[in-house]
């Protein structure tokens, strides 16, 4: 992760490649972010096609930092050889990315594919540890299983994206020294407001999950709105917004060390 930036607002998780369906130009999204002081945007890939789009965007825009991954549901479409080829592609481009994401497990619906999801997730987790990159984790309805796997692997650089698990697990995240992202939906979400209170500021990042999770439940969300997450952290932690911005910027830098 680039350490040359002065402190700025950061969107630690979004999907810039999905703005085609929102009928908004990515260039306009980036300009809106810049105008709001959001000068670092972590764009997450979810499959081979998405990863290549994210990489291309990062190459052409200094504000965009590429995160390449295999979203658990997307990954189920691929055979072992295809999974291994994508992992090789990600590793080949390790110097052009800041994290492995979005990866993880999703047990919301089909219970028959859980062992396959676990197998793929472990491959991506080991990749991240091998190339010393943070893992950006999707863990819907699989929070406990994800945490157990990461603890067994002794993973250190872990970013829990939009974590919706029980508060006993939130405490476990904090005890493991992992980082949690606070989405812009925190504006109305008591769950994420409680996470802010539970996890030390030194282990928080802010995200939009754009184009999803708009702070006012509209569509589409944009990285420029990430400031709503910062504001809520400042309010709950009883700190000036500028101090929160500085500390979260340092959190981002520390994940690269």
Tell me the per-residue pLDDT of 77-102, one tens digit each, with 9 for 90 and over: 999 999 999 999 999 999 999 999 99
Q: What are the angstrom distances between the C-alpha of 107 and each of 79, 101, 113, 114, 143?
A: 20, 18, 9, 7, 9
pLDDT band at 110 (very low <50, low <70, confident <90, very high): confident
103-112, 135-144, 183-192: least confident range: 103-112
Residue with tokens 């002065």: 6
pLDDT of residue 1: 47
pLDDT beyond 60 at 135: yes
Whether residue 157 has pLDDT greater than 80: yes
Q: What is the mean pLDDT of residues 157-181?
A: 97
Domains of the chain: 9-254 (3.20.20.140)
The structure's pTM equals 0.96
Mean pLDDT, residues 227-238 = 98
At 109, the pLDDT band (50, 70, 90 cuts) reads: confident
Rounded mean pLDDT, 149-164: 98
**Confidence check: pLDDT of 5 > 90:** no
Cα 197 from Cα 11, distance rounded (Å): 20
When pLDDT is averaged across residues 150-176 and rounded to a whole number, the result is 97
- Residues above pLDDT 90, as percent of the chain: 93
Per-residue pLDDT, 35: 98
- Tell me the C-alpha to C-alpha distance, in Å, between residue 193 and each of 29, 41, 98, 123: 27, 23, 27, 33
What mean pLDDT is predicted for residues 140-149?
98
Higher pLDDT, 189 or 5: 189
What ranges make up the beta strands (E) of the chain?
9-14, 38-44, 64-68, 97-104, 135-138, 158-160, 179-183, 204-207
51-72 mean pLDDT: 98
Q: Which of 21-25, 34-38, 195-199, 202-206 has the lowest mean pLDDT?
A: 21-25
pLDDT over threshold 90, residue 73: yes
**pLDDT, averaged across the chain:** 96
Closest CA to 65 of 86, 48, 40: 40
Q: Residue 22 pLDDT > 80, yes or no?
A: no
């Amino acid at each position: 992760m680039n350490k040359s930036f002065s402190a700025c607002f950061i969107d630690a998780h979004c999907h810039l490649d999905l703005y085609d369906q929102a009928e908004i130009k990515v260039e306009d999204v980036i300009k809106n972010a810049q105008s709001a002081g959001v000068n670092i945007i972590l764009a997450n890939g979810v499959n081979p096609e998405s990863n290549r789009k994210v990489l291309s965007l990062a190459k052409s825009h200094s504000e965009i930092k590429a995160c390449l991954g295999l979203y658990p549901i997307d990954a189920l479409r691929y055979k072992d050889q295809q999974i291994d080829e994508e992992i090789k592609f990600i590793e080949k481009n390790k110097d052009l990315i800041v994290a492995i994401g979005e990866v993880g497990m999703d047990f919301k619906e089909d219970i028959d594919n859980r062992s396959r999801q676990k197998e793929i997730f472990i491959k991506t987790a080991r990749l991240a540890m091998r190339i010393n990159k943070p893992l950006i984790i999707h863990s819907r309805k699989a929070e406990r299983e994800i945490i157990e796997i990461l603890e067994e692997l002794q993973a250190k650089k872990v970013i829990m994206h939009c974590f919706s698990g029980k508060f006993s697990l939130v405490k476990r995240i904090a005890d493991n020294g992992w980082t949690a992202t606070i989405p812009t939906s925190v504006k109305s979400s008591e769950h994420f407001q409680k996470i802010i209170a539970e996890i030390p500021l030194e282990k928080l990042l802010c995200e939009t999950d754009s184009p999803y999770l708009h702070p006012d439940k509209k569509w589409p969300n944009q990285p420029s709105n990430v400031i709503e997450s910062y504001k809520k952290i400042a309010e709950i932690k009883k700190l000036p917004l500028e101090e929160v911005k500085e500390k979260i910027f340092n959190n981002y830098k520390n994940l690269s060390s």
